[in-house]
Chains A and B, each alone.
Chain A
Amino acid sequence: MNLELVVRAVLSGILMGAIYGVLGMGFTIVYGIVDLPVFTHGVFALWAMYLLVMLSKYSGIGPYPGCVILLVAAYLFGILLYKLLLKHILDIEHEMQLVFCLGLLIALSNLALILFGPTSLLLRIDWLERVIFLREVSLKTSLIVGAAVSVLFIICMEVFFRKTETGKAIRACADNRRGALIIGLHVNKMYTTAMGVSLVCSAVAGLAFAPLVPVYPDLGFEYAVLACLVAVLGGAGDMKGALVAGFIMGLLLSMQQMFYDLTMARLILYVIMLGLLMFRPTGILGKGKSFAK
């Protein structure tokens, strides 16, 4: 076994893991705070990828201002999504909430198919295509930059939820909704903000994926499953768990891809997850919601 290959797989697994962590965090914020199983974040990431490719290719805006525009747009879209749709499904049956989200996922991913076509697109930015050598181990710049952006974003999120007034208020709503109402917090407004933040999470993951992975419409469902898996592994609703789970997921996938091919890697991952669902539903850190409702 080639040592450089192993080191490369471990490194790229960890780097990919940071992005998976952000993707899972988007799901877990909504599930933990608003208490809705919105597993459509993969599709939001897909849309972010498509829009970034479109903005940098067919408009004069270019990729960097495009990123900023997309992040703001994602936040606004999250707020809109909550106010127009998700607010109204807060009190329906849990199964029906899941069905609703499945409908949303199918509608949005096929809308992408109609608008952008079935062929896969890749964002090409010259300096991101370069390869960096750490001694013998080669890594793509885009992977390193994507992971760095993700880690930076995770730190920002941590500061937001721990230090700022709004972040604390949001966590209070998640901990005890009635208590938050009694002390005069505007719960609905906090939910709206949380929704916006979670959409930004999936947009960041999508933007980080854009120069790495060619984007095609079915990717939305794959990422949606992946985000669910990260959430399940980390314990649904547990943000720190989601990050740890993201790294584990990245490592698992890249190690398995080294030994087998991609389908086999995915197969092993799914089987592991099925086992995990049965034996440890609270996630690796054990702080997630164990049995939803």
Chain B
Amino acid sequence: MTGAKNTTALQRHAAGIATLMALILLPLLSGRYLTQVVLFAIITAYLCGAWNISGGYGGLTSFGHAGFIGIGAYATTIPLVYYGIPGWLGMLLGGAISAGFGYFLSWSICRFHIKGFYFAVSTILFAEVLMSIATRSRYLGRGMGVTLPSVSNPFNFQFLGVNPYYYIALVLLCVMVLLTQWIERARLGWYLRASRQSEDASSALGIDVTMVKVMAMTLSAFLTGVGGGLYVLALRYCSPYDVFGIMFSTTLMLGTLLGGRGTVYGPIIGIAMLTAVKEALTFGAEALGGMSSFALVLVGWGVILCLVAKYLPNGIGPWVGTRIRKQPAL
């Protein structure tokens, strides 16, 4: 039995390592367009991983993670453009501010027992409030947003090419996978899963449910803020409607749910599939001629969201997993 178990564990790692190798080699072998596409897929997968910690393991289905992305984005952009503070420092700063907001938001949500529909509305409102502030403030560039200068300054995390960002994002994604694996085995992970399944039973067992949820949300907010910083650095443009928009929150939710919430590789699988669908629909829209590819992609994602909610609430990863495990063991 143990032998079979070790084999499957090794196989899973083998798949992960092979994917990592392929991702490391990709920019050397392919053109700029593909690298760019995969770069943003990696950043989004990283952000999904951050969503997964609170939304997947903790069951806090947040509709407003774009708020944290936006905080990270502006905390990176504004110091860099106005005061020349390095981008990596801005990313950490964004993470810290996000974590503060995440702590406050989740604490008040747990304190007042906001759940279900009310939880969804409060998280949407959280992102919308921040977006209103950003579109109103002259300091934050109003609705136009802020453009980052296109210069080469490695110390500031500013590069002309795509590849440096690509590798930074890849490192972040690896950190995210390792962190998620650690959380899964650590006490926090068990507490989170327990309180997701039954809050009453967990608190009867002596778990401080509020504390566990607040910790998960704060950690998730920190990681999301850092990712938001990298996102604007790579995009070189920080637009309030983009970074605070409902679409970003939806993407994080959709990617995680599609791949499998509460699993280590779920977000990566989900975003890989979504990116494939997105590129296919973009090409399809071009072939049809004149149709707004952006809108077509979003319609597709809306439909996928509905299908996932109805038929695959646990995602594709676990679904495939149960199919494989049904086969007789070696």
Q: Are A270 and B129 touching (Cβ within 8 A)?
A: yes
B118 contacts chain A at the CB level, 8 A cutoff: yes
- A1 CA to B298 CA in the complex, in Å? 47
7 closest Cβ pairs, A-B complex: A107-B302, A103-B305, A292-B116, A106-B302, A100-B309, A103-B306, A110-B298
Interface string of A90-131 (1 = CB under 8 A from B): 001111111110111111101101100010000000000000
- A105 CA to B124 CA in the complex, in Å? 14
A10 contacts chain B at the CB level, 8 A cutoff: no
B160 contacts chain A at the CB level, 8 A cutoff: no
Contacts of B10 in A (CB 8 A): none
Q: Are B299 and A107 touching (Cβ within 8 A)?
A: yes
A interface residues (Cβ-Cβ under 8 A, vs B): 31, 37, 39, 85, 88-89, 92-100, 102-108, 110-111, 113-114, 118, 217, 221, 225, 228-229, 232, 236, 261, 263-264, 266-267, 270-271, 273-274, 277-279, 281, 291-293
Contacts of B310 in A (CB 8 A): 88-89, 92, 96, 100
Beyond contacts A39-B117, A99-B253, A107-B305: 20 other A-B pairs, Cβ-Cβ < 8 A, are A37-B117, A85-B306, A98-B61, A98-B63, A98-B120, A99-B308, A103-B304, A105-B302, A106-B247, A106-B299, A107-B298, A107-B301, A114-B295, A261-B136, A274-B125, A274-B129, A278-B112, A279-B112, A291-B118, A292-B115
Contacts of A94 in B (CB 8 A): 116-117
Determine which of B59, B114, B295 lies in contact with A278 in the assembled complex, contact meaning CB atoms within 8 Å.
Answer: B114
Q: Are B128 and A225 touching (Cβ within 8 A)?
A: yes
Contacts of A266 in B (CB 8 A): 128, 132
Determine which of B112, B124, B305 lies in contact with A106 in the assembled complex, contact meaning CB atoms within 8 Å.
Answer: B305
Contacts of A99 in B (CB 8 A): 61, 253, 257, 305, 308-309
Contacts of B313 in A (CB 8 A): 92-93, 96
The size bracket of the interface on B is 35 or more
Determine which of A95, A105, A273, A292 lies in contact with B125 in the assembled complex, contact meaning CB atoms within 8 Å.
Answer: A273
- A52 CA to B236 CA in the complex, in Å? 41
Q: How far is the CB of A32 from chain B (nearest CB, A)?
A: 12
Assess A281 versus B302: contact at CB under 8 Å? Given A99-B308, A225-B128, A263-B136.
no
- A100 CA to B112 CA in the complex, in Å? 26
